[in-house]
Amino acid sequence: MAWKPRDIPDQTGRTFVITGANGGIGKHTTEALAGKGATVIMACRDTAKAQRVADGITGDVRVRALNLADLASVRAFADATGDIDVLINNAGLMNIPFSRTADGFETQWGVNHLGHFALTGLLLDRIGDRVVTLASIAHRQTPKLWIDDLNYEHRRYHRNLAYAQAKLSNLMFARELQHRLADARSPKRSYAVHPGVAATDLFARTETPLDWVAKPVVAVFGHSPRHAAESSLFAATTAGADPDTYWGPTWLFGSRGPVRPASSSKLSRDRDLQRRLWEQSERLTGVEYKF
């Protein structure tokens, strides 16, 4: 029988941090966890919007400022955060025009990957249970990881490839983190999940005519943000879930369906490339993990 959110055990006494929790998948993840008794910290750039969302959710839900496009904000959030049980790296940007973060990183890679890499490393000693990182079926859309030019300093920018590179980085980071936790004999776990395809606001921020039509079209072959949140909820709350498995929908090329072991690209499983990405991420963010 397929796993459903009703299978989530009581979460009373557990604390979750969810990035980008003020809409879409993050909002539904917050609602489900708070409904099971968890304390949820919504880590969001737009705190006013997040507070409006939080006000509509029953349970212990708290809003905190976090801008993943600014490492100073990431450090400030981490400095002000105490012990938590689970970090869900949910926030993301998709297919936006070229820009750079406050620290000079290409924005899609800087927010989706580097911001989460830094946040996880800075919080790791206070995370009691696990880290869940959202990747995407879009990780397959890039033929390689330009490990020597991750910031688009020497090549032409293609927004779809930049997004694919960022999501590939999310997947490779989650796997490398699990390898390193296991090597350190840590009881903590790292999970990579993908949500399938859902009609969220990600499809309305490209600053192209697609913003007007993408969400209705996606809703036809994808599934709802509520269903898309099931991958995160499964990995964040299931005691026996295998951290070496990539969890997500598998129907219609991974666009929808119940949470199951999902396939990933050969590139995403390249251990040497995972290690090199990790080293580059530590160098660029200045965050060195301690296990």
**From 152, 163, 191, 289, active-site residue:** 163
Whether the Cβ atoms of residue 75 and residue 109 lie closer than 8 Å to each other: no
CA distance 37 to 14: 8
- Nearest CA among 247, 256, 237, 152 for reference residue 197: 256
Tokens of 85: 């049980």
Q: Which residue has the tokens 């969400």?
A: 215
DSSP state of 205: -
> Any catalytic annotation for residue 289?
no
Neighbours of 267 (CB within 10 A): 16
Whether the Cβ atoms of residue 108 and residue 94 lie closer than 8 Å to each other: yes
Whether the Cβ atoms of residue 157 and residue 98 lie closer than 8 Å to each other: yes
Tokens of 283: 């160098």
CA distance 255 to 185: 35
Instruction: Give the active site residues.
Output: 163
